[in-house]
Amino acid sequence: MMGHQPQSQEKLFYTGFNLSQRIPKNHILRKISNMVEFDFVYKEVKGKYGHNGNISVPPPVILKLMFLLIFYNVRSERELMSTLPFRLDWLWFLGYDIDDEIPNHSVLSKARTRWGAPTFQCFFERIVSQCVQAGLVDGSKLFMDSSNIQADASNNSVVNTHDIKRYLKKSYQLLEDRLEKENNQSDDDHIDPPKTGSANSKYLSTTDPDASVQRQGGGRSKLKYKIHRGVDRKHEIITSTSVTTGSINEAHLLKPLVFEHEKTTGLKAQTCVADSKYGIIANYLACHDLGLKGHFASFEKAHRGSGSQKDIFPKENFVYNPDTDSFICPKGEELKRRRFSKQRQYWEYMAPLSVCRNCSSFSQCTQSKTGRSLKRHERQEDLDHMLLESESKASVKDIQTRQYLMERSFARSVRYGFKRARWRRLWRVKIQEYLTSAIQNLMVLIQHVKEPDAIQEAANRKPEKTNGTRRFILRFLALFATKSISKNLIHVPAG
């Protein structure tokens, strides 16, 4: 017999309703809640609130709301708040009941301004620490790369700062006033490094002045930021990350990424792996001074034979004679030391111009009217050692591995809205990157760790020096121990 649906009548009271029972045991937010302790933020933002006035939304709730915004790639904070009452899993994750008042969307923007980027950086570092305690990070080899993202600004907002017409635009005058006020702030978290390049010294966005005018390929110039990451190979955990304007060369971020990797993991890196864009002299020498192996191809050799160097004798065709401190060209002529560059720390070697012009191979040797010149760095011996290491079999293998490893790291970020900045100004884009990287690491942590209790305790505990036995016990508890084993068979003394 066919059934008919009776006319529904809304209930005023629900008996026996338990929100927690409506959330499946294997729900991803339940796993995240068991894995992450959000209450740490109380201590981090304690000094950023006053003692009088209205009571704020609890900081852990704000952090969870920011987490949901990125994790589910919600388009805006308004949409997040309007969707929240319909999502029982979100309500449970936030600790709300179905009839609790939902906060206004403005609490998130106010909290970001109040907290600053360091609070979210702390959240990222805590997740990395949990990954280390779980044995998911090796730490000895750091892979690094960068990726451009679209700024939250239109090309129509770009003005020519060298043009007198900019003073006729009201938006530009308001921008100058706002920038002047922000530059006078005492909060160091909002002070951003200057942009580089001739285009960025001339053009400025009135919507997002931190974004850089950048062009890739043959398309139009766009406003962009640049994300720099360091990734550990073992389980592809992001151990260090940084955000700069799009005009910053990624080669300058090698040392900061290495230092942050060692800070967040507590492990000493032994090898840096990157592409040829990092292969500049300063990076080779920095790796030498830090005791690191630099597995990245030389930028000079990678671009040799192109542009003005096309069909020109390479530097290897010239033989250096340490006894006379000079180079011998393929025709047997001597290039003697001429002058020293203090800024770049190299000696320049040249042959007499009359000798070069009368040489039959002059057109194959140089396109310069002043003759061929060679440069030898003040620390050439150290540089040669690093260049030899960069061409080893191990280096070639690591460079090939880096290509798909880093591409996969950035590709996994796309589902969290990585391609475009959610907010404007550099320090806000940093917040987005810290949350995105923390979420990616958290997904790996959830995949490999089933008992998070021991890892949470290790993350909350202050760093201490432990012997090999204690480290083994902590890792054993984190990865393999069941609750019964941890309670009855193994006892780790506190402190």
Q: Are residues 277 and 337 in the same domain?
A: no
- Res 307: pLDDT: 61
How does strand 141-150 pair with strand 271-273?
Answer: parallel
Q: Note whether 28 and 70 are same-domain residues.
A: yes
Listed in sequence order, the residues at least 6 apart from 258 whose beta carbon sits closer than 8 Å to its beta carbon are 142, 230, 240, 269, 272, 290, 292
Residues 165 and 243 in one domain: yes
The residue that leads in pLDDT, 470 or 276, is 276
Residue 452 lies in a domain: no
Which residue range(s) make up the domain with 366?
305-377
CA-nearest of 67, 10, 6 to 33 is: 67
Same structural domain for residues 145 and 223? yes
For residue 276, what pLDDT band results from cuts at 50, 70 and 90? very high
Q: Within this chain, do residues 313 and 422 fall inside the same structural domain, yes or no?
A: no
Is residue 8 a part of any domain in this protein?
Answer: no
Phi-psi region of 330 (alpha: psi -120 to 50; beta: other; left: phi over 0): alpha
Please determine, for residue 165, whether its predicted confidence score (pLDDT) is greater than 90.
no
Residues 375-427: tens digit of each pLDDT = 999 999 999 999 999 999 999 999 999 999 999 999 999 999 999 999 999 99
Which of 152-156, 183-187, 274-278, 461-465 is the most confident on average? 274-278
Residue that is written with structure tokens 């931190």 in the block: 210
Same domain as 142, residue 92: no
Neighbours of 23 (CB within 10 A): 17
- On whether both 75 and 223 belong to a single domain, the answer is no
Q: Give a yes or no: residue 445 inside a domain.
A: no
Q: Is residue 25 part of a domain?
A: yes
pLDDT tens across 238-261, in order?
A: 999 999 998 899 999 999 999 999
Average pLDDT over residues 465-494: 44
Label residue 486 by pLDDT band (50, 70, 90). very low
Contacts of residues 349-353 at CB distance under 8 Å and 24 or more positions apart, as own/partner, are 349/373, 349/374, 349/375, 349/376, 350/374
The last residue of one of the domains, among 55, 83, 115, is 115
414 with 483, same domain? Answer: no
Q: Tell whether 148 and 293 lie within a shared domain.
A: yes
Residue 494 banded pLDDT, cuts 50, 70, 90: very low
Which one of 115, 148, 173 terminates a domain? Answer: 115
Is residue 353 predicted with pLDDT exceeding 80?
A: yes
Mean pLDDT over each residue of the chain, to the nearest integer: 84
Residue 275 and residue 325 in one domain? no
Let me know if residue 448 belongs to a domain.
no
Name the helix (H) or strand (E) containing 347: strand 346-350
Q: Does 101 share its domain with 139?
A: no
Would you call 388 exposed, middle or buried from its count of C-beta atoms within 10 A (0-12, 13-18, 19+)? exposed
User: Hey, which residues does 223 pair with through a beta bridge?
Assistant: 213
Residue 366 has pLDDT above 80, yes or no: yes
In a domain, 87, yes or no: yes
| Phi and psi angles of residue 41, each rounded to the nearest 5 degrees, phi first | -70, -20
Phi, psi of 407 (to 5 degrees): -60, -35
Q: Give the domain-ending residue among 85, 115, 145.
A: 115
Q: What is the pLDDT of residue 289?
A: 95
* Nearby residues of 131 by Cβ (< 8 Å), 6 or more positions away: 137, 235, 237, 441, 444, 445
Q: What is the pTM of this model?
A: 0.83
Say if residue 454's pLDDT is above 60.
no
Question: Do 153 and 265 fall into the same domain?
Answer: yes
Both structure tokens of 186: 């005492």
Beta bridge partners of 231: 143, 238
How far apart (Å, rounded) are the C-alpha atoms in residues 75 and 329?
63
Quick check: is 386 in a domain?
no
Q: How many domains are there within the chain?
A: 4
